[in-house]
Amino acid sequence: MTTVDHLRQVRLGNLRTVLLALVDRPGSRADLATRTGLTKATLSNLTEPLLANGILIEDAATLAGMGRPSKPLRFHPDGPVAVGAEINVSHLAVETLGLDGETLRRHLVPTDIRTRSADDVLDQVADLVRSVTPSRPLLGVGLAVPGVVQEGMLVRAPNLPSLVGVPLARDLGRRLGLDVVLDNEANLAALAHLWPRHLAGEDFVHVSADVGIGAGVVLGGEVYRGASGFAGELGHVVIERNGVRCTCGSRGCVERYAGLDVILKEAGRRHLDSLARALDAGDPKALSAVAAAGEALGVGLATLMNLFDVPTVVLGGSYAVLHEHLSAAVQSEMDTRVLAGGERHTRLVASPLGEFAVVRGAAGLITRRAVQQPERLVA
Amino acid sequence: MTTVDHLRQVRLGNLRTVLLALVDRPGSRADLATRTGLTKATLSNLTEPLLANGILIEDAATLAGMGRPSKPLRFHPDGPVAVGAEINVSHLAVETLGLDGETLRRHLVPTDIRTRSADDVLDQVADLVRSVTPSRPLLGVGLAVPGVVQEGMLVRAPNLPSLVGVPLARDLGRRLGLDVVLDNEANLAALAHLWPRHLAGEDFVHVSADVGIGAGVVLGGEVYRGASGFAGELGHVVIERNGVRCTCGSRGCVERYAGLDVILKEAGRRHLDSLARALDAGDPKALSAVAAAGEALGVGLATLMNLFDVPTVVLGGSYAVLHEHLSAAVQSEMDTRVLAGGERHTRLVASPLGEFAVVRGAAGLITRRAVQQPERLVA
DNA sequence: GCACTAAGTTCAAGCATTGAACGAATGAGG
DNA sequence: CCTCATTCGTTCAATGCTTGAACTTAGTGC
């Protein structure tokens, strides 16, 4: 690596800093200079190719106050976008996201994936992606799946066996002629809380439940994936070593006490909506089922906190819907069991992103990469 | 940050690379150039101030083979060293470590710390540090304590209440006129397996038991500490949510089933040595006590592996001594409960470092910092 | 119109690595 | 003893991005 290469790295790093500042909000060169700590000269230099390439656009001068008016820069309204797609057990979803973090279009289609072939599903996903793609350059597609991902393939997915072993990223990429990145839905739901707007502000764990329970752990501003993509498997944290047998072969996994299927069964309900209504109506069976799940989840989360020591837990997915009736039990278990809890309370918050958190994270995977590796944008 | 500053950073980065190569083994400028990927010219340039400052020394030319003989460079035998110190419940220990990773002197003094004042203990630690310091520049002192550390202070230490809240790093630093860095013994034991020689080769968890159970988690070549230093509290991972009450306020913590005190009590022994002898003699009570602890530890470790997804577990401290009679139960629980286990087995190894692992890590904290931030060595 | 203010642009200076050329130190072969 | 081959280590011009100061541009206020 020559010195010249190092200097190019410096330039790319500064480019990233500037783009991150612009994701935060638009601003003139002078404004960006003060926000990034770079000089006005550097900002003129760095933004020039971004304007030439149609990534940024210069707004009309703003006539506010004394001195020469500033011309704010922002992401070009016809600039590149990313699409996120989600394949889940009972639905498909897609969303288009601009570099500025604005959602353009989104779409959710209920369908039972388990009865369909991989090819069939991918055809429909490709159609859905096309249907939400505006006539703007497409950076790539992020694809979310419920299971463990390794090298663009689903290697473990108890609820979607027909997709395991199929090179989903490659196959969808061929259909669309685009770069497709595959990742786990728990990781992507966590990413959606981190990018483009950091909703938690620091390290956090995002927990959600569908059929299984998945945790996306964010450490140092990055989703932590572990050595082989199995990190954050909160569903199989043991809370009773001689407890209920689990499909994974273990016993007493959190999932067997706090999984959505278990909650629904205990509450005598078929769907989340119906459960939510029963809770609001004060149905005792529903309330106790949710409270019991909260206790089990709290024990598992306490263990997680004692190992990861992150300050915040974000309840997402179904847990976000139930959080009003779930949080008390979770918080209570955590308060008694988390060591760090004594000094400064562990923050427990509900996700503000609705059912589109996962697709949003999937699209964010792509826009984030574009901003963090800006060489693709300038070249 | 000016471009000149950036280039200085590049230089420091390269200096670090060169020093890391030299920690691995000595080598001539040409050899180091090929090993680091830098050019001979750069190596001459980088090593010149290190030789001038007495950090490195040039050996006599080696007359091997054709061509101009090379003059190997290595760490100066009178160059700077670091001292590691450990304050534990029943002993004090110190060790001197050179930048090359060679242990120079070590010393262990059994003593019951609980009956003594912090000042008294620190006086003795200072004396011990002086007793193992050779007449060479001293980079600093790493100090290991059994408990949670924040900002140079022990904030939680159930077994050493008299030291909690005392600014140990500052007070020992004043006594010695040196920079003192305080850290948790579990973290430092893990560090000893990572620096100066990486004994595991990749990410790993180091687990050891004294009164409590501590895990040092190494992710990406760094000890993971968490937001407030509480990370890796394996001892308080829950394995039976309605189990035995723990001093921490929770129930069913691993520590209550696999702590050394529990093992000794169940085996009817007073000391680790006596237990080890009983195990070798085939004492059934001792064997079953250790196997039971192994089961509980295995459940806790399985949970840890499902959250962190690291490929290797290193059993250290007392567990290393017991590992022959402990590993089978641990491995068995992990095999049934770790998700990633199916594909590639989780490696379970015993630490090759004996009772000096913690002090070695404490000293390594200092030598490692010196190598990774070489500006202190050149200035 | 003129002074004032702030935005944006121009330009020489500064530095660590590189690669090629060079000097140094030895072994092999005659 | 001399020369050639070989390898080690050193010298030196070229390179490119940010900086800060000076400068230009484009407004406001009186």
Q: Which amino acid is at B370?
A: A
From chain B, pick out residues whose CB is under 8 angstroms from the CB of A228: 309, 311, 340, 343-344
**Cβ within 8 Å of residue A300, ≥6 positions away:** A213, A234, A237, A239, A254, A258
Task: Check CB contact under 8 Å for A228 and B343.
Answer: yes
Task: Check CB contact under 8 Å for B228 and A309.
Answer: yes
CB–CB contacts below 8 A, A to B: 144
D5 C1': nearest CA residue: B67
From chain A, pick out residues whose CB is under 8 angstroms from the CB of B203: 227
Could you give the CA distance from residue B101 to residue B201 in angstroms, rounded to a whole number?
A: 17
- Tens of pLDDT along B259-268? 999 999 999 9
Task: Check CB contact under 8 Å for B241 and A296.
Answer: yes
Task: Check CB contact under 8 Å for B337 and A7.
Answer: no
Please give the biggest Cα pair distance in chain A: 74
Residue A344 pLDDT more than 60? Answer: no
- Tens of pLDDT along B86-100? 999 999 999 999 999
- Rounded to a whole number, what is the distance in Å from the CA of B241 to chain A's nearest CA? 6
- Tens of pLDDT along A12-23? 999 999 999 999
CA angle A113, A171, B344 (to 5 degrees): 80
Q: What is the gyration radius of the CA atoms in chain B, in angstroms? A: 23
- Closest residue, chain A, to B217 (C-alpha): A307
Q: What is the gyration radius of the CA atoms in chain A, in angstroms? A: 23
A76 to A57, A73, A80, A190: CA distances (angstroms)? 5, 9, 8, 27
Report residue B158 as tokens: 């159930």
Best residue of B164, B202, B337 to probe chain A, by most A CBs closer than 10 Å: B337
> Are the C-beta atoms of A202 and A215 separated by less than 8 Å?
no
Cis amide leading into B196 (omega within 30)? yes
> How many distinct helices (H) and strands (E) make up chain B?
13, 14
Please give the biggest Cα pair distance in chain B: 74
Q: Per residue of chain B (379 residues), what is the pLDDT tens digit?
A: 778 899 999 999 999 999 999 999 999 999 999 999 999 999 999 999 999 999 999 998 777 778 899 999 999 999 999 999 999 999 999 999 999 999 899 999 999 999 999 999 999 999 999 999 999 999 999 999 999 999 999 999 988 999 999 999 999 999 999 999 999 999 999 999 999 999 998 999 999 998 789 999 999 999 999 988 999 999 999 999 999 999 999 999 999 999 999 999 999 999 999 999 999 999 999 999 999 999 999 999 999 999 999 999 999 999 999 999 999 999 999 999 998 765 557 899 999 999 999 999 999 999 999 999 999 898 7
Phi, psi (rounded to 5 degrees) for B215: -120, 130
Closest Cβ opposite residue B249 in set A3, A202, A336: A336
Task: Evaluate the CA torsion angle B23, B24, B27, B32 in order and state its sign.
Answer: negative
pLDDT category at A1 given cuts 50, 70, 90 is: confident
Q: Are strands A180-184 and A153-156 parallel, antiparallel or unpaired?
A: unpaired
Question: Which window residues (44-103, chain A) lie with Cβ within 7 Å of strand D?
Answer: 45-46, 61, 63, 65-69
Q: Which amino acid is at B202?
A: E
Task: Check CB contact under 8 Å for B306 and A229.
Answer: no
Between the CA of A227 and the C1' of C18, what is the distance in angstroms? 37
Residue A322 pLDDT more than 80? Answer: yes
**Cβ within 8 Å of residue B255, ≥6 positions away:** B212, B213, B235, B236, B246, B262
Of A54-68, A144-158, A332-346, B120-134, the range with the lowest mean pLDDT is A332-346
Task: Check CB contact under 8 Å for A203 and B296.
Answer: no
Closest Cβ opposite residue A310 in set B156, B227, B236: B227
Could you give the CA distance from residue A124 to residue A329 in angstroms, rounded to a whole number?
A: 41
- Rounded to a whole number, what is the distance in Å from the CA of A240 to chain B's nearest CA? 4
Tell me the average pLDDT across A284-309: 98
